[in-house]
């Protein structure tokens, strides 16, 4: 398995949203059987118990599979934060997750307070690494100021149709791994002629080319499929390399505001377009 960054997040991870119950358990069991070694879940998804059941049934030692979970915004007050993480660990059936993230920046709590609680969870041994999700450039800078060198990853929407270059640059500057959720844009680019043409060159699918474009930039991708063929195919992206011209052609598909995930109750004021960026 190929990895990204010093903390070695697998280049391709398995997402579990919106899977529930037995479907979630079976999908994670399938993924681990195929070779996925990073499973991504969250309190908000309501499937941590199912993921835990899959982890217990997979036959691997727990330290062979990385697990990421995320703290729900409703649990970010001092009375709820640590107990919610303890419930997550109980549901997952493990003593510690590899990555514990703030799922969305809180609107009710100061960032310093939520980061302090996140750091406390790690100091108690509840996680190996801590990070954030859906943080803008300004929020990530502030997190880096408050917890210098401690934010391991920022998990955000990232795919060929959205322009995240300012955030990419900032993550590189701060040594933060950028992780991509919604990496296949819910199928929105599957009919794109540029991607289809490149896919034909390598005998790959459009999804495989898009995932290759992501990880070739040093971004860790998270993909979900309950179909065996697709889940296997999403891992099969390490036997080819896109040329500079192909990377630029795919990058040219970016749109400043092509965001698929922006819930009104949690979304921050997103970063604006990447000024001056040229392929």
Question: And the tokens for 58?
Answer: 């997979």
Question: What phi and psi, each to the nearest 5 degrees, are found at residue 67?
Answer: -130, 130
Contact 52, 255 (CB under 8 A): no
| Antiparallel, parallel or unpaired: β 9-10 and 12-15 | unpaired
Structural domains in the chain? Answer: 10-251 (3.20.20.100)
Question: And the tokens for 31?
Answer: 């993924």
Residue linked to tokens 């190929």? 2
Choosing from 45, 99, 126, 181, the catalytic residue is 45
153-211 pLDDT, tens digit per residue, is 999 999 999 999 999 999 999 999 999 999 999 999 999 999 999 999 999 999 999 99
3-class state of residue 161 by DSSP: coil
The annotation places the binding site at 103
Question: And the tokens for 199?
Answer: 């896919």
89-147 pLDDT, tens digit per residue, is 999 999 999 999 999 999 999 999 999 999 999 999 999 999 999 999 999 999 999 99
Q: Is 36 known to be catalytic?
A: no
Name the residue among 171, 184, 182 with its Cα closest to residue 5: 171
pTM of the model: 0.95
């Amino acid at each position: 398995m190929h990895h990204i960054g010093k903390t070695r997040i697998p280049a391709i991870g398995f997402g579990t949203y919106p899977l529930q119950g037995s479907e979630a358990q079976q999908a994670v069991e399938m993924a681990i059987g195929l070779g996925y070694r990073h499973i991504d879940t969250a309190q908000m998804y309501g499937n941590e118990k199912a993921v835990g059941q899959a982890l217990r049934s997979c036959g691997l030692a727990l330290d062979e599979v990385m697990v990421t979970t995320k703290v729900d915004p409703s649990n970010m007050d001092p009375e709820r934060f640590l107990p919610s993480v303890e419930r997550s660990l109980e549901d997952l059936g493990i003593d510690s997750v590899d990555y514990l993230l703030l799922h969305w920046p809180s609107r009710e709590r100061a960032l310093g307070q939520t980061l302090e609680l996140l750091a406390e969870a790690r100091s108690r041994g509840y996680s190996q690494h801590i990070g954030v999700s859906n943080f803008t450039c300004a929020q990530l800078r502030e997190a880096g100021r408050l917890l210098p060198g401690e934010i391991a990853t920022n998990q955000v929407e990232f795919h060929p149709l959205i322009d995240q270059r300012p955030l990419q640059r900032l993550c590189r500057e701060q040594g933060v791994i950028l992780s991509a959720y919604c990496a296949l844009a819910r199928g929105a680019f599957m009919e794109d002629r540029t991607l289809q043409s490149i896919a034909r060159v390598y005998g790959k699918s459009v999804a495989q080319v898009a995932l290759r474009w992501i990880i070739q930039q040093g971004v860790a991708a998270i993909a979900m499929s309950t179909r065996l063929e697709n889940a296997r195919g999403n891992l099969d992206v390490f036997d080819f390399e896109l040329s500079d011209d192909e990377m630029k052609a795919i990058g040219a598909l970016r749109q400043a505001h092509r965001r698929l995930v922006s819930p009104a109750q949690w979304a921050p004021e997103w970063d604006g377009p990447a000024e001056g960026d040229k392929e």
